[in-house]
Amino acid sequence: MKKKNSKLKFPNISRRIPETIKRNKFIILALFLIFFFVALVTIDLTRNLIQRNNEITKMQKLTDQRIYWQKIINTYPDFRDAYFSLAIIEYQLGNFEESSKYLEKVYEIDPNFEKGDFLKEKLNLN
């Protein structure tokens, strides 16, 4: 007899879990949805941070390249390719006026420079 009473007082865990789920299905569903949306927001935030970090790294590399080519120009003031590289870098950084100035300098040094024609068209220089 004692064994039956103890079973009634303490139900088996395999019964308790389904009963708890059945009674609290809306709470469990709400918790699952909250977890799901938090996971989605976290994934999106992580993706945005990675993209921003990549953009910052790219800008830093372009800035470093600009400094390098400016030093080259200070050493070799008639080096056409240095001016052209600076024109491309400034264009990539969004500094279109600076890019135009460097490209004009390229054509002052070498009026027949054909590689600069595509950048000339993008900057609407004639």
For the chain, what is the domain count? 1
- By residue range, what is the domain housing residue 17? 2-122
Any idea what the Cα angle at residue 18 is, between residues 16 and 23, rounded to 5°?
95
Full-prediction pTM beyond 0.85?
no
Is-contact 86 69, C-beta < 8 A? yes
**pLDDT score for 106:** 94
Which parts of the chain register pLDDT below 70? 1-14, 126
The residue assigned the tokens 């000339």 is 120
| pLDDT above 70 as % of the chain | 88
Q: What is the pLDDT of residues 26-46, one digit of tens each?
A: 888 899 999 999 999 999 999
- Which CATH number is 106's domain given? 1.25.40.10
